[in-house]
Amino acid sequence: MDSDKQPLVDWVNFPEDIPTFSLWETLHDGDLLAIESDLLARTVTLRFDVGYVRDFHHLPENTQFVIVIEGVQSVRSVRSVPWPGGCSIPQGTPNADQSVLIHEYHRKWREESQSWSDLERMTSDPFGLEVSIATLGRGSGVVALQIGLLVARDSYVEAYIRGEGITFHIGERQVTPEEFVAFGEAYWEAFASKGKAD
């Protein structure tokens, strides 16, 4: 590597001192509706529908939660392929033993690389792409986004995007990352309060 080049920064090569920021509160269980890559503009736009957060805030039904990564330097997608032997749980198996069997089954899954265009096409799957995890890393002049997605209820994909900047939108309104997450936090706080009251 040339001495004047910056080291690669992404989820595989992320410096330990780079702070991460969870987007889980707003995106968890939401649907990734579209991935729009613009190679010329060097952007990737992710469009999400998160019905329970939208409805909680009484937003119009077509309101989307949008993340735009700018100055995109890297995109990557990895999928987990289920082990074809299946997961058989005999009736009457105690919960603790069921967890062991399920863990053993998942341990046999295989991770495979896939093309970014294949991931973009997966957004048209009739079962959708459901957000499991979403984490943002922010450093000086670099951002890295990691999103875990459940696909058709039987496989899992992780997407990684590295760029120079990021913007967040709720509907037409641009918001800060903190405001974006606060929308989801308000729902979960109300949900927890309701659970205590019940």
Confidence (pTM): 0.84
Number of Cβ within a 10 Å radius of residue 44: 23
- pLDDT at residue 126, rounded to an integer: 76
Nearest to 116 by CA among 161, 155, 157, 77: 77
- How do residues 41-62 score in pLDDT, each as one tens digit? 999 999 999 999 999 999 999 9
157 and 78 Cβ atoms separated by less than 8 Å: yes
Q: Which residues of the chain have pLDDT under 50?
A: 1-3
- pLDDT at residue 1, rounded to an integer: 43
Contacts of 179 (CB under 8 A, 6+ apart): 168, 170
- pLDDT at residue 166, rounded to an integer: 96
- pLDDT at residue 14, rounded to an integer: 60
d(CA 50, CA 36): 18
What percentage of the chain carries pLDDT values higher than 90? Answer: 56
